[in-house]
Amino acid sequence: GGTVEVRGLSKRYGRTVAVDGLSFTVRPGRVTGLVGPNGAGKSTTMRVIVGLDRPDGGSALIGGVPYRELRRPVCAVGTTLEASAAHPGRSARDHLRWMARAAGLPGRRVAEVLELVGLASAARRAAGGFSLGMRQRLGIAAALLGDPPVLIFDEPVNGLDPEGVRWIRGLLRSLAAEGRAVLVSSHLMSELEGTADHLLVMGRGRLLADTGVRELLAAS
């Protein structure tokens, strides 16, 4: 299953306590928003979930196992993959082929994920010339290669134009509707209100609220 369980998670950098005893659950079939001001600990939490950082205490499990033991990778869009910068002349399709091979995944998914993110017609173009929105889509395509049960998006709409924002929202909704667990962060509550089913509000490394969006709107 794609349930993410974060229990008593702590992470410090030197004297800075980035995450302080955090516990929450991200359920399949829903978009869960992680919201809080800059410095609240959102990225650190996501990095620990996907194994890019080790916690000092507590645990983050995906379907009951730590990230490093997963066979299908859970992917963090926004926190990973700047491969297109390293090889600007490489086509979108070749980037994805390369990434599929590196992850031990079949190359036949490449055409499918390019289609899913709306890059099919740009598949042969050099990714180095892509706009921010197109690079974002390429990163998402890479995340979808392994057909992961959980998808984690760190501030995915940052810097996108309104059309890009709408597209990301629709994508998050459809990924959740397919039964995946979707965790998405933002420093703006307004960015998540219309997208998330459930909200986790963070401040100073701690959880301030853990609530369904409908409950929240009904109470305000």
Q: Footprint of ligand ADP on this chain (CB under 6 A)? A: 13, 16, 18, 25-27, 30, 32, 36, 38-44, 197-198, 210-212
Least distance (Å) between residue 166 CB and ligand ADP: 23
Q: Which is nearer to ligand ADP, 53 or 93 (CB)?
A: 53
Residue 175, class by beta-carbon neighbours within 10 Å (0-12 exposed, 13-18 middle, 19+ buried)? buried
Q: Which is nearer to ligand ADP, 13 or 88 (CB)?
A: 13
CB 151 within 8 A of CB 113: no
Instruction: Compute the C-alpha angle 130/143/11, nearest 5°.
Output: 110
What does the alpha-carbon distance between residue 213 and residue 220 come to, in Å, rounded to a whole number? 11
Q: Which is nearer to ligand ADP, 90 or 173 (CB)?
A: 173
Q: Which is nearer to ligand ADP, 29 or 118 (CB)?
A: 29
CB contact set of 186 (below 8 Å; sequence gap of 6+): 33, 34, 35, 155, 157, 192
Among residues 38, 10, 53, 49, which one has the least CA distance to residue 181? 49
Least distance (Å) between residue 32 CB and ligand ADP: 4
What does the alpha-carbon distance between residue 41 and residue 46 come to, in Å, rounded to a whole number? 9
Q: Which is nearer to ligand ADP, 36 or 139 (CB)?
A: 36
CB 2 within 8 A of CB 62: yes
Least distance (Å) between residue 195 CB and ligand ADP: 13
**CA–CA distance from 14 to each of 11, 40, 54, 104 (Å)?**
10, 16, 14, 36
Q: Which is nearer to ligand ADP, 26 or 171 (CB)?
A: 26
Least distance (Å) between residue 124 CB and ligand ADP: 35
Least distance (Å) between residue 38 CB and ligand ADP: 4
Least distance (Å) between residue 42 CB and ligand ADP: 3
Counted residue by residue, the chain has a size of 220
